[in-house]
């Protein structure tokens, strides 16, 4: 089994200083190290529950990574890893964005320390104001023929206008590192729009969230992926996936109003960009 670090990770833990990070193989699988505390356990418990939950409609199941159980992996000290579908294996030049959903990332069952840490981060970012924050993104520049990723620190400090700009840059083809030119939003309709685009997928998820009381997806992210290779001929093949289930709790008969509110806000941002890119005739 040939394992290596994933190429396009935009958020979450990476392999650093001897601490294990995620790995991918050449068979379309993603290996996520089980985090030492209860988080890894919670994530496994979620995936086990979700995969066998017969009340999850098929059209919703597609928004979640396929789960392949846990496995001890050589070279990681026998530590167990969660084996998932590698969401990027079918893409040759993917642009990826990670959006953490919800106007709060903490939840009542968490420790006081964790709640305080989250409150600080939520207040500093757009989480409290907008109901979501962009954790990271990487976009392919069609002119420079290379990937561009904004500085992490810069991203942490953005406000509402910065979010709008990032969402435009994410679907643009022009030189992104050059801050003097406005993003052209060239791929807005192929990525965000259309009957299979991001907006349609988000709206489908929203309908499920209006009723599902199985899980509360605390601190979960929505990953947006699209293909840049032959985008003009073959389309963007945009996909929306929910990821990061280390803090998921039972819904206990209550809808995930925190995630739902944030999702609806995010949908509005995407819709605004789609509409303004459809209307714009200038750059």
Nearest to 124 by CA among 95, 176, 159: 159
Provide the 3-class DSSP secondary structure of residue 82.
Answer: strand
Question: Which member of 60, 158, 186, 255 binds another protein (CB under 8 A)?
Answer: 255
Query: Least CB distance from residue 161 to another protein, whole Å?
Result: 9
61 makes contact with another protein (CB under 8 A): no
Whole-angstrom Cα distance, residue 14 to residue 154? Answer: 19
76-105: which residues touch another protein (CB under 8 A)? 103-104
Binds another protein by CB under 8 A, chosen from 49, 51, 129, 175 = 129
Is residue 251 a contact residue for another protein (CB under 8 A)?
no
Which one, 78 or 108, has the nearer CB to another protein? 108
**Would you count residue 154 as binding another protein (CB under 8 A)?**
no
CA 160 – CA 140 distance, rounded (Å): 23
Task: Give the chain's count of helices (H) and strands (E).
Answer: 10, 11
The size of the chain, in residues, is: 283
CA-wise closest residue to 83 among 42, 8, 29: 29
CB contact at 8 A, 31 and 22: yes
188-227 mask for another protein (x: CB under 8 A)? ----------------------xx-x--------------
Residue ranges binding another protein (CB under 8 A): 103-104, 108, 123, 128-131, 160, 210-211, 213, 252-255, 257-258, 260-262, 264-265, 268, 272
């Amino acid at each position: 089994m040939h394992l290596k670090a994933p190429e396009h990770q935009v958020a979450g833990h990476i392999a650093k200083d001897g601490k294990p990070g995620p790995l991918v193989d050449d068979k379309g699988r993603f290996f996520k190290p089980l985090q030492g505390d209860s988080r890894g356990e919670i994530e496994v418990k979620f995936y086990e529950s979700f995969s066998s939950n017969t009340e999850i409609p098929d059209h919703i199941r597609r928004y979640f990574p396929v789960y392949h159980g846990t496995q001890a992996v050589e070279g990681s000290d026998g530590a167990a890893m969660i084996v998932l579908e590698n969401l990027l294996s079918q893409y040759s030049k993917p642009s990826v964005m990670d959006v953490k959903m919800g106007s709060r990332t903490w939840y009542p069952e968490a420790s006081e320390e964790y709640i305080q840490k989250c409150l600080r981060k939520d207040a500093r970012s757009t989480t409290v104001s907008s109901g979501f924050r962009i954790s990271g993104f990487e976009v392919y520049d069609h002119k420079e023929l290379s990937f561009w990723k904004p500085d992490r620190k810069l991203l942490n400090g953005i406000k509402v206008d910065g979010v709008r700009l990032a969402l435009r840059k994410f679907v643009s083809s022009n030189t992104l590192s050059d801050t003097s030119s406005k993003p052209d939003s060239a791929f807005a309709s192929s990525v965000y729009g259309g009957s299979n685009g991001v907006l349609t997928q988000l709206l489908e998820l929203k309908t499920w969230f209006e009723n599902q009381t199985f899980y509360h997806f605390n601190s979960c992210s929505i990953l947006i992926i699209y293909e840049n290779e032959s985008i003009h001929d073959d389309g963007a093949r945009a996909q929306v996936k929910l990821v990061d289930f280390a803090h998921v709790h039972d819904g206990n008969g209550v809808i995930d109003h925190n995630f739902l509110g944030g999702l609806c806000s995010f949908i509005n941002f995407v819709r605004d960009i789609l509409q303004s890119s459809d209307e714009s005739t200038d750059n």
